[in-house]
Each structure stands twice: as structure tokens, then as C-alpha cells.
Structure 1
Amino acid sequence: MKKFSKRKGLQLIATTLLAVFVFAGCGSTDTANDKAAKEPKEKQNLVIYTARDKNVVEYVVPKFKEKYPEYEVQVNTMGAQQILERVRGEKENAQADFWWGGTQASFELASKEGLLSPYKPSFSDKIPELYKDKEDRWYGEILLPEVIMYNTEALKEGDLPKDWDDLLDAKYKDKIIIRGVLPSGTMRTIYSSLIYKQDSKDPTKGYEWLKKLDANTKLYAQDPTALYLKLARQEGTISLWNLQDIMIQKEQHNQPFGYIIPESGIPILVDAVGIVKGAKNEEGAKKFYEFLFEENIKLELAEKMYQIPVQTGIEKDKLPSWLKSVDLKPMTIDWQVIAEKEQEWMKYWDANIKGQYNKK
């Protein structure tokens, strides 16, 4: 057996050590890369202003985050009118990315004031022209029928009003509770529609009608939660509200609430969505926009949250049974007039009618 020379022995040791260092280095790099890949990326903040019922928010947002885990979603809930005023006040430095839920009148005003960014979503052709902005600044998401709401434990069939005018009957004095009107896009539209119904060209008759309603109104609740609580406690037995929220309270929270579709017809609001101009996360807003209108989401919301989708193309057989049985009677309304006159009419109501006729 040949003996290694001292020089060859040293070369062999050096080669072995080099290999060890190389492999060790590779192992360290791979481990670092694996660790970096496993570490979560910094999440993007998506800010949403919404007028939606909290049950809807708590149902939709987790599903969105499951599909898009890269987003941290911050939801601020308030009335539609409050959202308009807040977005207006933040025009120079937008704090919200997406506006989720509000009346057509609110979105029309926001569009005219340059508060919304145009965006043509992939489902644009499935939304009827009546329910979207011509310049793609807002799209209707759902239809909200406005109806008479009542406590089913306090009022029986023979005690119920059949039409809007019945609410003025003296037997309903101090039976009516109204959600605070000015902060609520829903209530502003209901009241404006009732003014329009009396005389579309002259609000005077509408104001007289609302004076009589105010005389029968016991109180104005601060927000929807207070409205539900007071109606359930029978502090009042009748209100005016939207069908979707009534159904949610009845079916999901076992509240003793029912609804009446007035014989002369009801205002059916288009509840819309849009991207706030100057949004800091416009890309995230677009993804949430598209997500809301996915057919499976719309069907789930119709089934579980009693929403009536605006978009066409959904097969009737897929719609929930409750929706198939609802017989809506639309009130004839020029929504452009409502959009133009609502602010003027509601200012007059607040200054000259609210709370001034109940004690007379």
C-alpha cells in the first residue's frame, strides 16, 4: 500500500473542508429561503365604509378574506347619508377605498361632486341601465323594497294598516317609531318618496302628509339597533323600514317583526356600491367589487341575508323560495327628481316638521 505524501494529505483535508463549507452554506441558504417563503407577507389595508346590516358584513367579509388573505379589511358602519358626508369631508385625502351600500340618490350626488372613481366591472352587461351610472361611477347591487314594519305580537290582522295613508289614522297615535331620518339614506328616500307621492311637482301636500305622520309618531330612534329594541319591547308597534333588514331580524334573531306591502305601491330603492376617488388601495377595492357580484355570493346572500340581487342572468330555479313568493308593487317614482330634491325636502322636514306635531 502506497503512503500519501504530506502535501497530498493536506490537499485532501482542504478539499474535504471546502466541501463541508459549501454544503453547509447551501443548507443555510435553502433554510433561509424556506423560512422567508413561509413568513406571511405584510397585509394590505382595505378600508370599507358601509351602510349594510352588520349581519351581512359579518357574513361577507370573512369569505372575502378567505379568498384574498393578503388583505386586512377595516369596515366602518354608518348610515348612507353619513357616509356621503364623510367621503365629502375627506375628498382631499380619501380615507376609504370602497363605499358599500347607499341609495341611488346618495351615489348620484357623490358622482356629481367627483367623489367616486369610474370602474367598469366584469359583470357590467348584467346590470340593467336603470341600475347603474352611465359613466361607471356606481353600480346597483341589490333592490331594497321599503315597507311598513310592525310587531306581530302586538298587532293582529284586523289592526294592521293596509296602505300608507292608514298610518295617519288617530288609532295609530303614539304607536309609530321612526328610525332617525337625516342620518339614514333609507329613511330619507322613504320620506322623499311619500312627498313625491302626494304631488310630484309641489312638495306642500307632502309636507302636510308628513305633519300628520309626525303627529302619530311617538319617537325617532337614533339608529336601527335602537329601532329594533324599542319595537320588540312594544314601546311602539309600527315603523317604516326595508324588507331585507326586517327579514334578517325576524328569521335570524327571532324578533316578532312582520311587514305589509302597501296597496298603492312601495318605493324600491337601488342600493349601490362604488370606489372612492383617491382610494389608497384601489386594486383591493376592485377585487372586493368583483367578489360581491360573484353569482355564488349573490345566491348565498339572497338565501341567508334576504337580498334581492340587481344583476340579471341568474336562473330563477336557483333563487330562494322566499324571494319567489314576494309580490312587490313598485311605486311610480322619478328617481332623478328624488335625487335632485331630497336634500331640500329633508332640510325642510327637519326644521319645520320633526317632533312639532305629536303634542298638538
Structure 2
Amino acid sequence: MKKWMQGLFVSSLALTVAACSSGGQQPAPADSNTGGQSGSSGQAATQPAAQPAPSSEPQKLVIYTGRDKNIFELVLPKFNEKYPNIEVETLEMGAQQILERVRAEKANPQADFWWGGTQSALSTAANEGLLEAYKPTFADKIPDLYKDKEYRWIGEMLLPEVIMYNKDALKKEEAPQDWDELLDPKYKDKIVIRNVLPSGTMRTIYSAMIYRQGADTPEKGYDWLLKLDANTKEYTQDPTNLYLKLDRQEGVISLWNLQDVLIQGLKNNHPYDFIYPKSGAPILVDGIAIVKGAKNTEAAKNFMEFLMSPEMASELAKERFQFPARSDISKDQLPEFMQTLELKPLDIDWDVMAEKEKEWMQHWDENIKGKGK
């Protein structure tokens, strides 16, 4: 775990890009997550809670995060400036790994706050009684589509999933312009994919590819993924290895979230660009939640309110290209490209996706992965 204390870290990055996927000791996306889902258990307050008052007593906050280190290295020092009495520890992993860990620790929760998870993972956790119902002060600023109706999780930002390519190897017009073009034989062995099962981002993309072929007849989607597998040269262990393969042109095309493509291309100087698929993209909601039975609930509430403030949302949009889930962020608080880019979504029933994802991904892992050659 990483500890963040007042004065321990001072950000010196002057960034104009954004990110949201994996990073840290066990990289995985950010999941990351676009549609609101809700379960049947738990109760939320009928009115938003008053923002927790700062306490002078020493406190601790344990965060499980699927966010990129470029995100929390911006946020956490600012949080410590406001709450110097709260010692923050972070453990980084993929959204699916967070779900599995929180589930395993249900009887004795070790985390207080879940930062960065797909709506599928968060909805599953809510339905299993793993998340605390808390209606924050900004509750009415989050559209219903981007939050659990009982406030067991809240959407922080929107994550369009796009086609990523190495612009040193391909011209924009040479890259696939839509999902079905990925199956063209001319792209055989040009595609590299981040290992799917541990990644909330990849599980969502692959599940969306099945859904768009027909959720009631997943065989059509399985056949589509088998054809994609035939063009896939390799599945990398984590995002770091994905970037390495793309940089070396051992593969020149991948599928990833837009924010991370931008931060890797514009901040970290990787030769990456993106195609926003013509037919639309699955747009995840990357969310946050307080773990049920958390030992440091008040600190977690303070962090939620701080992270979701208009000031922080605007800064993350400008510095890290985050699309905020809040509906009250004005255009002048956003970078210019966000004001003009049309986020065309795929038509997806996210409740169905959440219900079917585990079954679909297990089938892919056991019957499709590596078998399309």
C-alpha cells in the first residue's frame, strides 16, 4: 500500500491530458464504467447528507483504486492539504480484482473506499450487500443513469471505449473505423489486447461486442469474438506490456478507453491516436463507493465529497481529460475538445450486461481465447 501524508508528495506535473485506467502495482483500467444499475437492498437517506465536518482527530482512509497513478497523484495531495489529519493508504488493482477482494473481505472489511470501478462491478457489489448506502450533498447533480438509485455507488466520470492505434505505423484512414472492421483479414496479427478477465474496461468492451450481436443469442457474439481472436496476435498481462507491444509495433491496434489513450499519447509521449467507432462506443461509468462496514466511514464520506466537488471535477477534466458525470459543470470549466467531441453511445441495456457478463467472459476464456487461429 502507498501512504499519502501532508507534504509527502507535491505534484510538479503541468499536464493537459487525462487518464483513467490502470496503473500502479497491479495495473488495470479505470474503470474504470455508462448506464445506471441498481439492486434491491439497502436504504438511502431521502435528502442529501450534510457534508461531514472536518475533524481534528487523527484518521485513516484505505482506498482500493483502479485509477491511474496520474489521477490520484493529482487528487490525493490536494485532499491532504484540506484534511491533514487523514492518513490515506491506496492499494491499486483492476476493477474486477477490487470486487473479488471486497467480496472476500466482507466479514472483515479492510477497505473504506472504492475508487474506480465499472458500473457492472459496482452494481454486482451493491446487490451482494458490499456497499454502503450514502446520499451525498451533490446527489441531484448526477443523472439517474449514472448512479445507483439507493446511492450505494455514484458515477464519477464517463469512459468511452475506442479503437486505439500506433500512428507511427498506421495513418488514421488505415486504422479500423468501426468495430466490424477489426475482423478484416488485413489486420491479422496487428491487434494486441490487454488480458481481458482482470480488466473492467476489456470485460465491458468484449461483453458489448456480444450484446450488439444479440444478447438473447450470444452465439453470434461468440463467433464475432472468435474472428477477433483470429486477428489478435497476443493478450498482454497488463497495460504496461500492452503499451510496450504497441510501441515496438509488435501490434499496432488495440481496444482501450479514450482517456488513457490521450494521456499515454499526449503526456507520456507514446505514438497513440484513436478512432471513435462510427456506430458508437460503449461508454462506461467509472464510479466510486463506500465499502459497507468500513472502519473509517466519515473519512470516506469526506473523500467522496472532495473528489466530486465542481472544482476537482473541472481540474481533472482540464488536466486529465476526464469526462465528469456531474451535470452542472459548465463548458468554460471543460477543455475545448470536450465541448466539441460527440460521445455517441452504443445502445446497451447495462442491467443485462451486468447480469450476463460473468457467463459471457467465462465462455470467452474457456472456448474462444487463443482458438481463432
TM-score, L = length of structure 2: 0.84
Aligned partner of 1:180: which letter? Answer: N
Higher relative contact order (CA 8 A, sep 6+): 2
In 2, Cα distance between equivalents of 1:232 and 1:115: 40
In 1, Cα distance between equivalents of 2:137 and 2:345: 29
Deviation at 1:158, TM superposition (A): 3.4
Q: How does 1:100-111 map to 2 (within 5 A)?
A: 100-111=115-126
In 1, Cα distance between equivalents of 2:296 and 2:290: 10
Q: How does 1:2-17 map to 2 (within 5 A)?
A: none
Deviation at 1:219, TM superposition (A): 0.7
Aligned residues with identical type, % of pairs:
64
Give the aligned partner of residue 86 of structure 2.
Answer: 71
Deviation at 1:327, TM superposition (A): 2.0
Give the aligned partner of residue 279 of structure 2.
Answer: 264
Give the aligned partner of residue 126 of structure 1.
Answer: 141
In 2, Cα distance between equivalents of 1:158 and 1:104: 33
User: Of 151, 156, 171, which residue of structure 2 is paired with 1:156?
Assistant: 171
Deviation at 1:43, TM superposition (A): 3.8
In 2, Cα distance between equivalents of 1:136 and 1:199: 30
Give the aligned partner of residue 61 of structure 1.
Answer: 76
In 2, Cα distance between equivalents of 1:157 and 1:91: 47
In 2, Cα distance between equivalents of 1:287 and 1:197: 40
In 2, Cα distance between equivalents of 1:157 and 1:146: 17
User: Of 247, 258, 262, which residue of structure 1 is paired with 2:262?
Assistant: 247
Give the aligned partner of residue 283 of structure 1.
Answer: 298
User: Of 75, 99, 106, which residue of structure 1 is paired with 2:114?
Assistant: 99
Aligned partner of 1:315: which letter? Answer: S
Deviations 1:110-145 (A, max 9, x none): 001000000000000001111111111001110000
Aligned partner of 2:115: which letter? Answer: W
Give the aligned partner of residue 357 of structure 2.
Answer: 342
In 2, Cα distance between equivalents of 1:191 and 1:43: 44
Q: How does 1:125-144 map to 2 (within 5 A)?
A: 125-144=140-159
Give the aligned partner of residue 215 of structure 2.
Answer: 200
Deviation at 1:298, TM superposition (A): 0.4
Residues 1:147 and 2:147 are matched in the alignment: no
Aligned partner of 1:159: which letter? Answer: E
Aligned length: 318
Greater alpha carbon shift after TM alignment, 227-236 vs 167-176: 227-236
In 2, Cα distance between equivalents of 1:69 and 1:153: 46
Give the aligned partner of residue 370 of structure 2.
Answer: 355
The 3-state SS of whatever aligns with 1:287 is: helix
Deviations 1:280-310 (A, max 9, x none): 1111100110011111110000001110001
Deviation at 1:233, TM superposition (A): 1.6
The 3-state SS of whatever aligns with 1:193 is: helix
Greater alpha carbon shift after TM alignment, 319-328 vs 120-129: 319-328
Q: How does 1:219-258 map to 2 (within 5 A)?
A: 219-258=234-273
Residues 1:114 and 2:115 are matched in the alignment: no
TM-score, L = length of structure 1: 0.87
Aligned partner of 1:94: which letter? Answer: P
In 1, Cα distance between equivalents of 2:144 and 2:120: 16
Greater alpha carbon shift after TM alignment, 226-235 vs 95-104: 226-235
Residues 1:84 and 2:135 are matched in the alignment: no
Deviations 1:209-258 (A, max 9, x none): 00000011111111111111211121110000000111111111111100
The 3-state SS of whatever aligns with 1:241 is: strand
Residues 1:215 and 2:259 are matched in the alignment: no
Deviations 1:169-222 (A, max 9, x none): 111111111111000011101100010001132100000000000011111111
Aligned partner of 1:189: which letter? Answer: T
Runs of 4+ in structure 1 over 3 Å off: none
Give the aligned partner of residue 296 of structure 1.
Answer: 311
In 2, Cα distance between equivalents of 1:330 and 1:211: 24
In 1, Cα distance between equivalents of 2:238 and 2:291: 25
Aligned partner of 1:298: which letter? Answer: A
Give the aligned partner of residue 42 of structure 2.
Answer: none
Residues 1:320 and 2:335 are matched in the alignment: yes
Deviation at 1:66, TM superposition (A): 1.2
In 1, Cα distance between equivalents of 2:124 and 2:321: 28
Q: Greater Rg, structure 1 or structure 2? A: 1
Calculate the aligned-residue CA RMSD, in Å: 1.1
Residues 1:173 and 2:170 are matched in the alignment: no
Give the aligned partner of residue 201 of structure 2.
Answer: 186
The 3-state SS of whatever aligns with 1:101 is: strand
* Unmatched runs of 5 consecutive residues or more in structure 2: 1-55
Say which structure is richer in helix: 1
